[in-house]
Amino acid sequence: MLLMTTVMGIGQARAAESTVLPGPLVTVQWLHDHAKSVQIVDIRDDLDGLMDNPKYITIKGKKVLQLSGGHIPDALSVNFWALRVKRTVEGKKLDFQFPTAEEFQVVMRTSVLENGKPIVLAPTGDDAISLQEAAFLALELETFGVPADQVAILNGGTHAWLAAGYPVVVDAIVPMDSSKWLAGKERHDLIATTKQVKAAQRSHESILDARPLSEFIGIAKSPVVPELGHIRGARALPAEALYFRAEDGSWRYMNAAHYHAAVRALHLGKVSPAIVYCNTGQYAAGAWFILNRIMGLHHVREYAGSIYTWENKGQPVVGL
């Protein structure tokens, strides 16, 4: 029995090592077929949803999924709010800052993540924000040493998984132990500082605002941002143009061809190298994932803390 268990364990480890993610996005069918050879990581901002049953409504006599509930079997769990920290910057306490490697390592160990095994991030898929949360975790994983080809997002998330007829577990994810996951050398080429954003203004490098268009033009703003407007020199890459709702009700990323067409339609011209920002980093992470991972454009950085940090450091914003 011990020998059989050992052989099975070795076989599973080799299967994980040999599994190659098909790209930055995976389908529910692919994940269902490869679930045992990847780490499925449920990422969300409300952990109570892990214990909620899916919600259905009836339309013309047909049962239709309205909101996902529960989680994919054997999934690990990461709380989105654990991915950002409060830090004192130039004498001022600021929220929504990137963690240090040590801080991020603690979160991954608590979530029982393992080094060297492919990761599929599973957002709820109930809205576009959930896709951005998954992208934010993908960005931090790459920033702290996980190779890009070992991280993918489940397109459509748990919503698409349920809509395809696959089962979920309705219960909290409570690990009994932690892992020994190690952060790698931090990649500074993925994150931009305020100083670098100001340098990009002077050099006319692309600065892209990934917030909703109403916030870019200055007629609306997030409650966490002091002033209306955008960073001078920035161009709009509006969130409204970046995601779509599929027939099954799940929110999804588009393919590279669609995004290249969107960039042309928005008259953005050259979008690499570029710095992307939003209010606090979430919309920007989605834009970074699209430009870098889906479109294959390199030299794209996220401005950590985004316009929240910019304004709280006393930097000016402009309207149209």
Q: What is the pLDDT, as a whole number, of residue 145?
A: 97
Residues 6+ apart with CB under 8 A from 38: 16, 19, 21, 31, 117, 118, 119, 120
Residue 4 lies in a domain: no
6 has pLDDT over 50: no
68 with 123, same domain: the answer is yes
54 with 155, same domain: the answer is yes
239 with 275, same domain: the answer is yes
Residue 61 lies in a domain: yes
Q: What is the pLDDT, as a whole number, of residue 62?
A: 87
Residue 172 lies in a domain: no
What is the number of domains present in the chain?
Answer: 2
> Which residues are paired to 58 by β-bridges?
63
Nearest alpha carbon to residue 80 among 54, 112, 43, 51: 43
Residue 274 lies in a domain: yes
Task: Please identify, among 144, 163, 182, the residue that sits at the C-terminal boundary of a domain.
Answer: 163
24 with 157, same domain: the answer is yes
Residue 172 in tokens: 């909290």
140 with 225, same domain: the answer is no
27 with 113, same domain: the answer is yes
Residues 6+ apart with CB under 8 A from 29: 164
Residues 6+ apart with CB under 8 A from 77: 41, 42, 47, 50, 71, 111, 173
Residue 217 in tokens: 């033009």
Mean pLDDT of 45-55: 97
44 with 89, same domain: the answer is yes
122 with 230, same domain: the answer is no
202 with 67, same domain: the answer is no
**What's the CA gap between 90 and 312, in Å, rounded?**
11
Residue 8 lies in a domain: no
What does pLDDT average to over the chain?
93
- The angle at the Cα of 287, spanning 209 to 163, to the nearest 5 degrees, equals 135
Residue 5 lies in a domain: no
Q: Which of 3-7, 91-95, 251-255, 273-277 has the lowest mean pLDDT?
A: 3-7
CATH number at residue 273: 3.40.250.10
- In 70-110, DSSP assigns E strands to 76-79, 85-89, 92-97
**CA 227 to chain CA centroid, nearest Å:** 26
Q: Residue 240 — pLDDT band, cuts 50, 70, 90?
A: very high
Per the listing, tokens 């390199």 go with 298
Mean pLDDT of 246-260: 97
Domain extent at residue 276: 191-312
Residue 175 lies in a domain: no
**What's the CA gap between 281 and 150, in Å, rounded?**
22
How confident is the model over 188-211, as pLDDT tens digits?
A: 999 999 999 999 999 999 999 999
95 with 219, same domain: the answer is no
Residue 317 lies in a domain: no
215 with 120, same domain: the answer is no
Task: Please identify, among 146, 163, 180, the residue that sits at the C-terminal boundary of a domain.
Answer: 163
Q: Residue 59 — pLDDT band, cuts 50, 70, 90?
A: confident
Task: Please identify, among 163, 181, 199, the residue that sits at the C-terminal boundary of a domain.
Answer: 163
150 with 56, same domain: the answer is yes
Q: Residue 13 — pLDDT band, cuts 50, 70, 90?
A: very low
Mean pLDDT of 47-52: 97
pTM score, whole prediction: 0.93
Q: Is the dihedral of CA 309, 303, 217, 129 positive or negative?
A: negative
How confident is the model over 88-119, as pLDDT tens digits?
A: 887 889 999 999 999 999 999 999 999 999 99
